[in-house]
Structure 1
């Protein structure tokens, strides 16, 4: 069972709303991914038809992809909205990693739904991640996770390739969370 979405503490919300992104290429997951970062894109067909698309859309725009994948989310908004801030965290107890993010873009046009978030100071990485479900003309519904990132902390710099593997494994968990 997925954890519930938590309300971000007011002090944390203010601090994150005042924070600048930790990378300059804000919005780049919507186009050409910038040089100088590790790039990742994974996709999975999750079914077909309007019902599948609508369920996936609802899950993405209510943080369920993150929650169902085992992450905790504390957000300034109960649904994904442009400019909202959140802390996505993974792990247990003192080993829990906290990843502050801000919503960069929300997509919701009837054929595509999803969002991008960018890293804020304190996130172990610098970059952006995008979660989009597409309904094609043939009614196939595909979920794609796209990201560009580079180390943003000592832990991820030292982790090197292991950090990239962990990011890829998390993206696979996101895909499985939406298929379930």
Structure 2
């Protein structure tokens, strides 16, 4: 099995002013830290090697995020530790921008994905991973794992509504990824 898992500590030169939380890498190493809201969402997105390859590429090249209508601005074409990006969601002039940095990546025969951590200016503080797994039975599964807490006044004020929106977005990512894995 080819195994290539890299983390921010492997990156050539992490940018100053990196992640704004101390538990960097916890979505890979576990357990998720206390004091944060935890999110874990898993959904089947396809079957077979072709679906796995398509889903893995869509996750790591930002195509999955873009398929949901999110804007992703990054100088890198795919996820690698240390890469910074801005993800923004919203309609028209009302957009929420979330600056992030890729913390770790996994490019293996059976698991492909990455995690990004929040940077200053993000409305939340924490980390989120997006991983596609090819199981022995040929099914392809997508998992979002995250820990986060409010970093801006409006996310603190939003409380449970923000949590519901995060889960809704994870589900939307899963639906978008299933369509991309199927070639739609």
Distance 1:93 1:109 in 2: 38
Counterpart contact for 2:18–2:101, Cα < 8 Å: no
Q: Runs of at least 4 residues of structure 1 off by over 6 A?
A: none
What is the deviation of 1:137?
A: 1.2
Counterpart contact for 2:72–2:88, Cα < 8 Å: yes
Equivalent residue, structure 2, for 1:52: 51
Q: Which runs of 5+ in 1 are unaligned?
A: 1-15
Cα RMSD for the two superposed structures: 1.2
Matched, 1:100 2:128: no
Distance 2:92 2:22 in 1: 32
What is the deviation of 1:160?
A: 0.5
Matched, 1:32 2:31: yes
Cα deviations across residues 49-68 of structure 1 (Å, max 9, x unaligned)?
A: 11110110111111011101
TM-score (norm 1): 0.89
Equivalent residue, structure 2, for 1:68: 67
TM-score (norm 2): 0.87
- In the TM superposition, 1:132-171 aligns within 5 A as 132-171=131-170
Q: Which runs of 5+ in 2 are unaligned?
A: 1-13, 180-184
Equivalent residue, structure 2, for 1:174: 173
Cα deviations across residues 23-72 of structure 1 (Å, max 9, x unaligned)?
A: 10000011211100000111111121111101101111110111011100
